[in-house]
Chains A and B, each alone.
Chain A
Amino acid sequence: MTYVDTAVGRGDPDRIGSDRAHSSRQHTLGHAEGDLASKRIVVGFGFWIFLISDIIMFSAFFATYVVLVDNTAGGPKGRELFNLGSVALETGCLLASSFTCGVASIGARLRSNVWFHGAMAATFVLGAAFLALEVRELGGLVSQGYGPARSAFLSAFFALVGCHGLHISVGLLWLLTMVAQVYAKGYRADIMRRNLCFSLFWHALDIVWVALFTVVYLMGMRQ
Chain B
Amino acid sequence: MSFSEAKNDLHPTDTAPGDQRIDRADIVEELKSYLLGLGLSILLTAVAFFLSGTSLVWGPSIPVALIVLAIAQMGVHLVFFLHMTTAPDSVNNILALAFGVLIVLLILAGTIWIMGTMNHNMAVSDGTMRMHMENGLGTRGVTARGVVAPAARAAIVSRVSGAVQSLDCDVKTKVKAGQTCAKIDAHRYETIVDEKAAEVKSARARLEKREADLSEARTGLERREASPDRRPSARRATDRVRATFERVRNAVEAEKAKVGKLELALQNAEINLGAANIVSPMDGIVVARNVQVGQTVTASADAPLFVVAANSDVAQIQVSLSASDIGQVQIGDKAAITVSTYPGRKFSGEVSQIQPVQPAGGTDLAASVVITAPNLDGRLEPGMPAMVRIVTK
Contact = CB atoms under 8 A, between A and B. Distances in A.
A11 interface: yes
B15 to A, nearest CB: 7
B16 A73 contact: no
Interface of A is mostly: helix
A190 to B, nearest CB: 12
A154 to B, nearest CB: 10
Nearest to A71: B133
A59 interface: yes
Contacts, number: 192
Contacts of B81: 98-99, 102, 203, 206
Interface string B203-227: 0000000000000000000000000
A37 B343 CA distance: 59
A214 to B, nearest CB: 4
Interface residues of B, number: 70
Interface residues of A, number: 77
Interface of B: 1, 3-6, 8-9, 12-19, 24, 27, 30-31, 34-35, 37-38, 41-42, 45, 48-49, 51-53, 59, 62-63, 66-67, 69-70, 73-74, 77-78, 81-82, 88-89, 91-93, 96-97, 99-100, 103-104, 107-108, 110-112, 115-116, 119, 129-130, 133-134, 343-345
A200 B63 contact: no
Interface of A: 1, 5, 8, 10-12, 19-20, 23, 25, 27-31, 35, 37-38, 40-41, 43-45, 47-49, 52-53, 55-56, 59-60, 62-64, 66-67, 70-71, 73-74, 84, 88, 91-92, 95-96, 98-99, 102-103, 105-106, 109-110, 149-152, 189, 196, 199-200, 203-204, 206-207, 210-211, 213-215, 217-219, 221-222
Contact of B15 (A19, A28, A41, A109): A41
A48 B174 CA distance: 63
Contacts of A96: 38
A103 B81 CA distance: 10
A214 B96 contact: no
